[in-house]
Structure 1
Amino acid sequence: MPDPLIDLREVTKTYEEGPPALDEVSLAVHPGEAVAVLGPSGSGKSTLLNLIAGLDRPTAGSVTVDGVRVNGLSERASAKFRRASVGMVFQFFHLLDDLNVADNILLPAQLAGMPRAEARDRAAELLGHLGIARHTRAYPGRLSGGERQRVAVARALMNRPKLLLADEPTGALDTASGADVQALLRDLNADGQTIVLVTHDMALAAGCATRTVELLDGRVARDVPTAVAS
């Protein structure tokens, strides 16, 4: 088996008051897995995602992603690491309303210094692959929720990250749009994309994850393979 793409070892995260948000969590995610992280509010799901992305640092333990000790990086190095290795998708899309679809997707490439011609070719590839090429010049406010989430996914994949993180990616969508995003994530994983997603949606986990990790009170309560529905 290849080395883990994500390797958390005895990770604890505490804040000023209350019990630990994460309590000695050890977790490995290998390339090609699609891991759904489940649990009630306050169980540590979003904290886990933020630590993997280098947006936060553990109080104790180590977080290694793609061979990089993330919790040892400076803020500048952490931002550079995310641009190169991690794509992020959020519940509320975080698209820029004054940029059209193509320009929203191109933004990570511009920040990373990708040559303009290469970036435009990559954007066109993603627009076609994700079924949103007809919306290239549209603005986010003219799109449905499901279409906006596809644009957000395209933006997250722009720099070919090894890891895609998704935080409640269907939380703001209606049932039909949620099913559309579920199918998209399943297809991306089938193409080899490693995915870690946080969700309350059991149907989403069952429909696109190859493995389910359940957190309870900051600890891993369950970690089992998932038979992905076709």
Structure 2
Amino acid sequence: MTDPLIDVREVRKAYDEGPPALDGLTLQVRPGEALAVLGPSGSGKSTLLNMIAGLDRPTTGSVSVDGLRVDALNETASAKYRRSRIGMVFQFFNLLDDLTVTDNVLLPAQLSGTAPAKAAARAAELLAQLGIDRHAHAYPGRLSGGERQRVAVARALMNRPPLLLADEPTGALDTASGTDVRNLLRELNTAGQTIVLVTHDLALAESCATRTIELVDGRIARDVRAVAR
């Protein structure tokens, strides 16, 4: 059996007051899975995503991604990990409005020191693949919500990360744009991209996730694999 791409073991995250955000959580995600993380506010969804992204550290337990102990990295190594091994998509896109679509997509490659010609070719490939190449020289403010989220996905995939993390990727979109992004994530997973997404959007989980977990009080209350699509 394939080794897990994500291996979270007995992770507990406690803050100064109140119950822990994560309470002894163990989770493995294998390459090619699309995992949807559901649960009420305060259940630990965002904390789990931040652990996987190396943005937060567990109080106890371990987090490994692609064979790397993420929780043991210093700040410099953690930033390098995020540049090379994960792509991140956010609810409100986090695009830079004073840069064109192409320049937004190029940012991860520039930060990683990729040769300009190689980076430009990769950006053009992604924009064409995601159906937004006609907007290459436009600015994000002139695009629809669905188009801006496609730009954000292209940026996240720029360095060919083995893992794509998405935090409420349809949360700020209208119905049509939300459907557009759901279809896009499903297509990416079908092509082999491993995805972990935190969402309240049940339609998103049902349409593109191959597996769904529900968190309650920092623990996995339900873990369901989808019928083969």
- Which bin holds the TM-score, normalised by the shorter protein? over 0.9
| Counterparts of residues 34-53 of structure 1 (less than 5 Å) | 34-53=34-53
The residue type paired with residue 187 of structure 1 is E
Runs of 4+ in structure 1 displaced over 4 angstroms? Answer: none
Alpha-carbon separation, structure 2, partners of 1:49 and 1:175: 25
Instruction: Tell me which residue corresponds to 1:95.
Output: 95
Contact 1:100–1:136, Cα closer than 8 Å, also in 2: yes
Structure 2 distance, partners of 1:227, 1:196, is 18
Letter matched to residue 99 of structure 1:
L
Quote the residue 1:162 is aligned against: 162
1:150-178, CA deviations, whole angstroms, 9 ceiling, x for partnerless residues?
00000000000000000000000000000
Q: What's the counterpart of residue 126 of structure 1? A: 126
- Counterpart CA distance in 2 for 1:35 and 1:103 is 30
| Matched-pair identity in % | 75
Give the match's secondary structure for 1:15: coil
Q: For residue 215 of structure 1, give the secondary structure of its aligned residue in structure 2.
A: strand
Q: How far apart are 1:56 and its partner, in Å? A: 0.4
List runs of 5+ in structure 1 lacking aligned partners: none
Give the unaligned 5+ runs of structure 2.
none
Letter of the 1:220 counterpart? I
1:143 paired residue number: 143
1:227 Cα deviation from its structure 2 partner:
3.1
Note the 1:156-195 alignment, pairs <5 A.
156-195=156-195
What is the TM-score normalised by the length of structure 1? 0.99
Name the CA shift for 1:33/1:51 in 2 (closer, same or farther; >3 Å).
same
Shift of 1:37: 0.2
CA RMSD of aligned residues (A): 0.7
Verify the 8 A CA contact 1:208 1:228 in the aligned structure 2. Answer: no
CA distance in 2, matches of 1:147, 1:18: 40
User: Is residue 207–residue 228 contact of structure 1 (8 Å, CA) maintained in 2?
Assistant: no
Cα distance in 2 for partners of 1:228, 1:169 equals 23
> What displacement does 1:228 show?
6.6
| Length, aligned pairs only | 229
* Aligned residue identity for 2:117: A
Aligned residue number for residue 81 of structure 1: 81
Tell me whether 1:227 sits opposite 2:211 in the alignment.
no
Paired amino acid for 1:155:
R
Q: How does 1:22-33 map to 2 (within 5 A)?
A: 22-33=22-33
- Distance in 1 (CA, whole Å) between partners of 2:130 and 2:117 is 20
- The alpha carbon displacement at 1:226 in A equals 1.6
